[in-house]
Chains A and B, each alone.
Chain A
Amino acid sequence: MRLLLKAEWIKLIRQSKTYYAFGAILIIESLILFTAYYQGSTILDLLLDNLKQSFYFEGSLLNGNLLMYIVLNSLWFNLPLILMIVTSGLVTDEYKDGTIQTVMLQAVDKWKFMSAKYITAIAFTVFVILFMMLSTFVLAYSIFGDGDLVVYLGTLNFFTAADAFHRICWAFASGAVSMVFYAVVSLTLAVMIKESSKTWIASALFLIITTLLLKVDFGAEVINQVFFPKLIDSWQQLFAYEPDWYQVLVNNFMLLLYALGFGGLGIYIFHKNDIG
């Protein structure tokens, strides 16, 4: 298994697609940060406009923490697309290059082979989130500094700089679980579809549908609580003034179970089907 994991990592490191993904993330991140700076002052104006009649403010809210929050809101659609392209390539490239037949001629268990791919995809996703988190922190704090965060979630919630940083870190952790889910789904789609461009389209469609379903009220409370599209943005709950940490934990745990289910399905399909 260790050898399989090592081989997958080497493939991932050697493929140019991986570096394009990192480059794309940096570009998107910088662009979001740049526009967030201008968007940030507009948002603050909108939020605080009628409060200005009654209050005067001491200190600035246009800082690294607000920009990080705007980045968090903007990145969770762009990032899964990039991740899905890279991770699905772990399977589709093998089919395209015909290397999968070569590997299967060796004494390699099919489930071990596919499990290694899933583990690599998950590890890569976590690594990308860490990279993105660190680079955004460095860019946001070095350019725009530290300060209190204001968020509107039904009420205006203010957080001290330290508390905001703490919540943003946990939001990245919760976001990472969502990204792992998307990466696993894309790999399963790759197992089912086998062809890269078709897998990308299916993955993008899955992402769009999930995002759309996130906003749909299904009426039944159970569906609203356990259906996976509803669990994708659990990180937002961390910006409630008094977050329900238990609920966030449960949501992320359920999403991991979904990921496990999709992963298991992919391994089962791969194991069942003939390599042709």
Chain B
Amino acid sequence: MMRKIILLILLIPQLVAAQQIDADLLAIKKKMDAVKKFSANIVLDLDVPFINMPTKKARVVYAVGKRMEFTSKDFVMLPKRGLDFSLAEIFKYPFITVDRGVEQRNGQRLKVINVIPTTPASEMALATIYMDSKALQIAALDINTKKEGSYSLLMKYNTPKDVLPNYVEASFAIEKLKIPLNFMGKGTTIDRKKMKSMETKTGKIKMQIRDYVIN
């Protein structure tokens, strides 16, 4: 009995802490909530081992409560996950945070927290957020979804005052290409070793975001 009481006493502070939402994240959320609408020009660079694509230009439009919309005169390939740098998906459903301490990344001292949704409606299972608590900016995110795997975001800002990033790098897992043999181009040889090594690869999309119009 005594053991159980001691265990309970030890666990209570952790449980209480776990239920609280990190103050810095709340401050970032407040900062971002001020952005109701924005549009910007994006320069896209796709970095996938078996895809060669030139640099593309697109336009992004975002409004609160809606998904980000991308339009382009060119043909563009956009990953289904990892483009939401407005972080609307993270804040969409109730969540709790768990403090994971501080980490040094690219010369920056970043606070690390886990975000855990408290409702099954959320697509997200767990997010790890690396944030600059001084500038109140999110520097990186690792997101695990329930159905669509995991992806990471790396964000850079022009100035510490900026709410939205000017550079976003989204990394995601991508399956190898399955091209039927009858479509292999003339002179194309099949490198089986290479094909096997390409079963699942990490793809990246690098976005330079310019000419923000924030409302």
Contact = CB atoms under 8 A, between A and B. Distances in A.
A120 to B, nearest CB: 31
Contacts, number: 97
B157 to A, nearest CB: 26
B173 to A, nearest CB: 8
Given A50-B175, A155-B50, A155-B52, A57 B187 contact: no
Interface stretch (A58-66, A169-177, A181-189): A58-66
Interface string A135-174: 0000000000001101111111111110100000000000
B51 A155 contact: yes
Nearest to A241: B52
B175 A53 contact: yes
B118 interface: no
B50 to A, nearest CB: 5
Interface stretch (A17-25, A27-35, A41-49): A41-49
Interface string B74-95: 1111111100000000000000
Contact of A214 (B74, B75, B81, B186): B186
A161 B54 CA distance: 11
A46 B180 contact: yes
Interface string B46-90: 000011111000100000000000111111111111000000000
B41 to A, nearest CB: 14
B106 interface: no
B184 A152 contact: yes
A208 to B, nearest CB: 15
A55 interface: yes
Contacts of A155: 50-52
Contacts of B71: 58
B70 A55 contact: no
A251 to B, nearest CB: 12
Interface in B160-187: 172-180, 183-187
B188 interface: yes
Contact of B186 (A43, A58, A236): A236
Contact of B75 (A43, A54, A59, A153): A59
B186 A55 contact: no
A233 interface: yes
A25 to B, nearest CB: 22
A47 B72 contact: no
Interface of A is mostly: mixed
A233 B187 CA distance: 9
A161 B178 CA distance: 25
B72 A46 contact: no
Contacts of B189: 154
A158 B184 contact: no
A148 B77 CA distance: 12
B188 A153 contact: yes
Among A56, A61, A147, chain B packs the most CB atoms within 10 A around the CB of A56
A161 B172 CA distance: 28
A57 B51 contact: no
B175 A57 contact: no
B186 A49 contact: no
Interface in B117-151: none
B179 A158 contact: no
A51 interface: yes
Contacts of B185: 151-154, 236, 239
Given A46-B180, A57-B75, A163 B80 contact: no
A156 B52 contact: yes
Given A57-B76, A152-B184, A236-B187, A47 B175 contact: no
A156 B75 contact: no
28 contacts: A47-B179, A50-B178, A51-B174, A51-B177, A54-B79, A54-B175, A56-B80, A57-B76, A58-B70, A58-B72, A58-B75, A59-B75, A61-B75, A73-B186, A147-B75, A148-B75, A152-B179, A152-B183, A152-B188, A154-B185, A154-B189, A156-B52, A156-B177, A158-B54, A161-B74, A214-B186, A233-B187, A241-B52
Which 3 A-B pairs give the minimum distances between C-beta atoms? A59-B75, A241-B52, A148-B75
Given A154-B189, A236-B186, 19 more contacts: A46-B183, A49-B178, A53-B80, A57-B77, A59-B73, A147-B75, A148-B75, A150-B75, A152-B179, A153-B188, A154-B185, A155-B52, A156-B50, A156-B51, A158-B54, A158-B75, A163-B54, A233-B186, A236-B187
